[in-house]
Amino acid sequence: MRRLEDRVAIITGGASGIGKATLERFVSEGAKVVVADFDITSALKVASDFGALAIETDVADPASVDAMVGQVIDRFGRIDIAFNNAGISPPDDDSILDTSIDAYQRVQDVNLKSVFLCCKAVLPHMLAAKKGSIINTASFVATLGAATSQISYTASKGGVLAMTRELGVQFARSGVRVNAISPGPINTPLLQELFAKDPERAQRRLVHIPMGRFGEASEVAAAVAFLASDDASFMTASNFLVDGGLTGAYVTPL
């Protein structure tokens, strides 16, 4: 199945985790993919592995984002899909009582401001073409309070979800669709690092998932590919939860 044949896609944070899994899925479905990542060494490696293009990008910097989008337009002439996936969840983002202003702002810049900047940069090109799909990475914590506090991350993902809904409604008649993907806890290097540092904290996440396991990055990538494709042609301003039933559960089964 090659639903994305010859479409041009940008993936921010595409060098690892969900972004890398989505890169692999997009390529398998025929897309021409650009990996926009701050870690250019890793981006170059994964891009080479999958025949993609890597561009060093600081998603929190307007000039860097505009330059990246400009390079994509110069190279391919269009942008059909934008997966705004870059994000961080650093250990100093904790309870509101312990998180510093600087730590709070750093997460907001990478997780929320970046989505604003990336959407702002690609939308004129999509609107001119009268077509396009934007997928923004939110989180289950945009819908449900987290069992382990990470105040700025949670606030940023709530902002991503709200922004996505507004953009989806605003451009609904333009041919451009804007949706959010909200993963539950996913088995990525970020979660594995949490397990290694604080197994008890990680276990508090697992116990709430009705399926009894963490998700895999490939499972989120499959959902992103659906939203990017024409199979989701009547979906915009939506929140696509891929969370193993977490947000639907009052209690988990034994």
What average pLDDT does range 179-200 have in this prediction?
A: 80
pLDDT tens, position by position, 162-183? 999 999 999 999 999 999 999 9
In terms of Cβ atoms closer than 10 Å to its own Cβ (0-12, 13-18, 19+), residue 179 is buried
Catalytic residue among 153, 171, 214, 240: 153
* Whether the predicted pLDDT of 108 surpasses 80: yes
Q: What is the pLDDT of residues 10-52, one digit of tens each?
A: 999 999 999 999 999 999 999 999 999 999 999 999 999 999 9
pLDDT, position 219: 98
Q: Which domains, ranges and CATH numbers included, belong to the chain?
A: 8-244 (3.40.50.720)
Token pair, residue 162, equals: 């709200």
Res. 191: pLDDT tops 80? no
In this model, does residue 106 exceed pLDDT 80?
A: yes
CB proximity list for 147: less than 8 A, separation 6 or greater? 204, 205, 208
CA distance 194 to 196: 5
Active site residue 104: no
User: How many Å apart are CA 181 and CA 59, to the nearest integer?
Assistant: 18
Over pLDDT 90: what percentage of the chain?
A: 83
pLDDT at 131: 98
* 188: confidence class by pLDDT, cuts 50, 70, 90: confident
CA angle in degrees (0–180, nearest 5) for 219-243-5: 30
| One-character DSSP codes across 208-228 | T-TTSS-B-HHHHHHHHHHHH
> Is residue 76 pLDDT above 70, yes or no?
yes
CA 110 from chain center: how many Å?
11
Round the average pLDDT of the chain to a whole number and report it.
94
Query: Which 3 state secondary structure label does DSSP give 14?
Result: coil
pLDDT digits (tens, 9 = 90+) for 213-239: 889 999 999 999 999 999 999 999 999
Helix/strand/coil for 195: helix
| pLDDT band with cut points at 50, 70 and 90 for residue 184 | very high
In terms of Cβ atoms closer than 10 Å to its own Cβ (0-12, 13-18, 19+), residue 207 is exposed
Determine contact, residues 120/172, Cβ cutoff 8 Å.
Answer: no
Q: Which pLDDT score is estimated for 254? A: 54
pLDDT of 6: 94
For residue 41, give both structure tokens: 């060494």
- Band of residue 133 on the pLDDT scale cut at 50, 70, 90: very high
